[in-house]
Each structure stands twice: as C-alpha cells, then as structure tokens.
Structure 1
C-alpha cells in the first residue's frame, strides 16, 4: 500500500475525516523516509488526543457499546 493511501485510510478510519495538508505531508514523509513504520504510525494515531477525544464522544453517545 502506498504511504499516501495508508495515511488517508488512517485518517478516515480512525479520525473520521480527510487528512489536513500538513498532517498528511508529515505522516507520508515519515513513512517514505523510514523514520516510522506502518505499525508505529497506527499506534501514534491510536494514542493521539484527537482519536481519544473522538472515542470519548462515541462512548458517551453509546454507553452500552464495547
């Protein structure tokens, strides 16, 4: 999978939005340069404040889920 596709997939799947230009560039550059591998990038998305805040809103809206 191309770096651009992976980054877009993570944004859409985990953050429910398209990537912003700066974030997209940052993550694609990190992947293509080898500074980060796909699993590490996934982990960083899962630990991000944006993802955790989104999860809190989802949990509050559906407390019986999970």
Structure 2
C-alpha cells in the first residue's frame, strides 16, 4: 500500500462519484484510514460523495485505462 491510490472522479450535479483501487490509505503513523475520510477533507463543499471500487463502477472501465500513475502521466 505504499503506492499512490488510483482515483477517478466525476461530478453529477452535487454528487461526487469517486472510483478507486483501494478503500483505505496508510497514514504517516502507519494506521489505516478510510479513503472517504481523506476525500471528504479535500472536497468539503460537495453535498454527497459516493466511493466505489473499480469493480463496482463500469463507467471507469469503459472510459479509462487503469494504470500506475507514471504510465498515466506519459
């Protein structure tokens, strides 16, 4: 879990849908934190946030190639 998570998002009205390859992040202290807590801090003004795994969100698979961050940036 040392790598950055893969995140995709889309805004539908006032609902932010986020798709990720994991549901937890490791904090600097070593404990696991739900990714929703991290996202909620970043997107404070969104009325609702829906977190899904890649398997739960077919729109990601049809529009994006899931790849490590360096490959995505290339």
| TM-score, L = length of structure 2 | 0.23
Structure with more helix by fraction: 1
